[in-house]
Amino acid sequence: MTTMIGFDDVRLGFGGVEVLDGVGFGVGEGEFVSVLGPSGCGKSTLLNIAAGFLRPDSGEATVAGEPVTGPDHRRGVVFQQYAIFPWLTVEKNIGFGLTLRANRRSREERRAQVARYVELMGLQGFEKSLPKTLSGGMRQRVALARAYATEPQVLLMDEPFAALDAQTREYLQELLVETTQTERRTTMLITHSVEEAIFLSHRVVVLGNRPTRVREVVDVPVPFPRTPESRLQPEFLAVRRHLEDLMRSESTTSARS
């Protein structure tokens, strides 16, 4: 399996504080990998490095074998905060990337692409709505659709559901798992929810406290297609217990330090 997203001994500090202390792992083509770690350990920082918003002090991030040197339309990003454009309607938000010079499509192609992701994300009937009229869950669905619509080589998602209530969150996880099964796009998802990480991923990368390194990479042997029932399978529960133990030991070491 070719590595689509790679981190090679990535180090980065802010003002003398080491945040990432030699992080290394890879995400294979078509793979969905979650990065799990305690708050403040540098998950967003890691994603920003892969997205090209930050340069590491040493080591490097690669996408499709090329070193990341800056933002690029071949990498779709979904942010932790709501980042859809409030002045554009849902459909214009989703089609935005396809109107830029870097990735321009004909009007028909754009329309077809927007329609496809409106449908996948269950946004029918809201094409002409402005973001201010949408719930938080719908805004993040628009953000997902916008990221998918440009057909990037890889998708980088930074806790896209963190701000949502539990029910909406589960619904969006199911929507996303369905989408990944039809789209099969290489994805790195940042989260601090063990449940979310397992439900969506092939593998879970567990980060430790600062200065941060990879503690463990855990395979998720829960078969696809995943459905709400997957959450109750013994494999799921076993991985969950293991990851929860890992996270707990991580939080106690941070409490002591």
Partner 1 sequence: MTRPLRRTPLRWTLPLLGVVLAVVAWWLVSLVMTGAKQVPSPAATLHAAVVGFTEHDLLLDLRLSVLRVLIGVAIGCAVAVPVGFVLAWYRPLRLMFEPLVSFFRALPPIALIPLVIVYLGIGEQARLSVLSYAAFFAAVVVIYESVAAVDDIYVRAGRAMGASGLELFARIVVPYTVPQVFVAVRVALGIAWATLVAAELTVAQRGLGTYIQDAANFSRKPDLFAGIVLIGLSAVVMDRVLVAVMRVSVRWQDRVAR
Q: Quick one: which of 4, 5, 10, 19 contacts ligand ATP (CB under 6 A)?
A: 19
Residue 124 engages ligand ATP in binding (rule: CB under 6 A): no
Which two three-digit tokens encode residue 65?
């074998």
Pairing of strands 3-14, 58-63: antiparallel
Residue 76: contacted member of Mg ion, ligand ATP, partner 1, none (CB under 5 to 8 Å, by partner type): partner 1
DSSP-derived secondary structure for 157-209: EESTTTTS-HHHHHHHHHHHHHHHHHH--EEEEEES-HHHHHHH-SEEEEE-S
Smallest distance from partner 1 to CB 109, Å? 16
Q: What mask, x for binding partner 1 by CB under 8 A, covers residues 121 to 150?
A: ---------xxx-------------x---x
User: CB neighbours of 28 closer than 8 A, spacing ≥ 6?
Assistant: 1, 2, 3, 4, 186
Q: Is 226 exposed, middle or buried (0-12, 13-18, 19+ CB in 10 A)?
A: buried
Q: What mask, x for binding ligand ATP by CB under 6 A, covers residues 27 to 56?
A: ----------x-xxxxxxx-----------
Residue 218 engages partner 1 in binding (rule: CB under 8 A): no
What 3-state class would DSSP assign to 2? coil
Number of residues that bind ligand ATP (CB under 6 A): 12
Q: Are 106 and 98 in contact (CB under 8 A)?
A: no
Residue 205 engages ligand ATP in binding (rule: CB under 6 A): no
Residue 81 engages ligand ATP in binding (rule: CB under 6 A): no
Q: Which residues bind partner 1 (CB under 8 A)?
A: 51, 53, 71-73, 75-77, 79, 81, 83-88, 96-97, 99-103, 130-132, 146, 150
